[in-house]
Amino acid sequence: MIVTLTMNPSIDRTATLPAPLQVGGVNRIAEMDDSPGGKGINVARVVAAGGTPTRAVFPAEPEDQFVAMCVATGVSTAVVSTGGAVRVNLTVVDSDGTTTKINAPGPELGAAASDRARDTVVHLAREADWVVLCGSLPRGVPDHFYADLVAGLRGAGARVAVDTSDAPLAALAARFPDAAPDLIKPNGEELGQLAGTDGAELERRAAAGDLAPVVEAARALCAGGLGAALVTLGGAGAVLVDDDEAWFAGSPQVRVRSTVGAGDSSLAGYLLAESRGLPPADRLVWAVNHGSVAASLPGTGLPLGLDPATFTTLPRRLD
């Protein structure tokens, strides 16, 4: 079983425009879609559709419409009561695939709700293969929440993956090796945050075919206790680095319609491949294919039940 934790879930409202976004002007909406969102929710939906048992943990009130939306997707849930409504995030996607996100802060969580979320995850981890900690932290939750939870999950039996950014990511890195997870899934910018380097430059060089700085930054993290880094690089593909190997897989050519959920789908693809006992190179291929299909779908489109042979992505070892 794979357990996901989404501390700051959202209803993802996607507005698709028939033309480029006109800032300060009047824009017409061609399509509008609401989906249950948040990184861990997206991962859980893709993993469940791929046939691997999953449980999505998140804070919400039982009567919140968000809970009903999650149940409708077929994902098994563990709801932690909060006293506040789940936020609504707006994504605007224009005709060339440019994505503009406007995210609400969400309700403030007190210590009691945070403790309930932590205790729920620790309890479920006893029967899980992976625990996946995803996304931003809501107001009221300290930046070191993920770092504390990763350290607290040691000995629970499950491996731990983390996909977050900014202050929670910095707090996690500051606690290596005690809080080093088995897997992180940064993009280039987030890898820069972790490694103390220019993430935009990492992405520019990767897009030009120079992957050495990405591998070097990821290897430094592995030397500090991290198990592996799955670094997503948008249209350039992704790199997988652990203590022994480094692999690259380029993204297949797709028409990008929305990047929302693409990184989450990549992480889910990796976990699905790992759950089937596939080697690192194949896990990377599954990650890239799932992320690429997500990018080709409108709104928070997810590659649910994707046949990983949809694209013939070939991995390349970088050592």
Burial class (CB in 10 A: 0-12, 13-18, 19+), 85: middle
**What backbone phi and psi angles, to 5 degrees, belong to 187?**
-90, -175
Distance CA 103, CA 206 (A): 28
At 209, list the tokens: 């075919």
Distance CA 293, CA 6 (A): 23
Distance CA 192, CA 253 (A): 26
DSSP element (H, E) containing 274: helix 262-275
**What backbone phi and psi angles, to 5 degrees, belong to 98?**
-65, 130
Radius of gyration of the chain (CA): 18
Active site residue 243: no
Q: Which of 123, 110, 128 is nearest to 149 (CA)?
A: 123
Active-site position among 264, 282, 307, 319: 264
How many angstroms separate the Cα of 287 from the Cα of each of 106, 108, 316? 29, 33, 14
Other C-beta atoms lying within 10 Å of the C-beta of residue 26 = 5
At 16, list the tokens: 């698709």
Q: Which of 103, 73, 75 is nearest to 90 (CA)?
A: 103
Distance CA 221, CA 91 (A): 33
Residue 177, preceding peptide bond in cis (omega within 30° of 0) = yes
Which residues are annotated as catalytic?
264
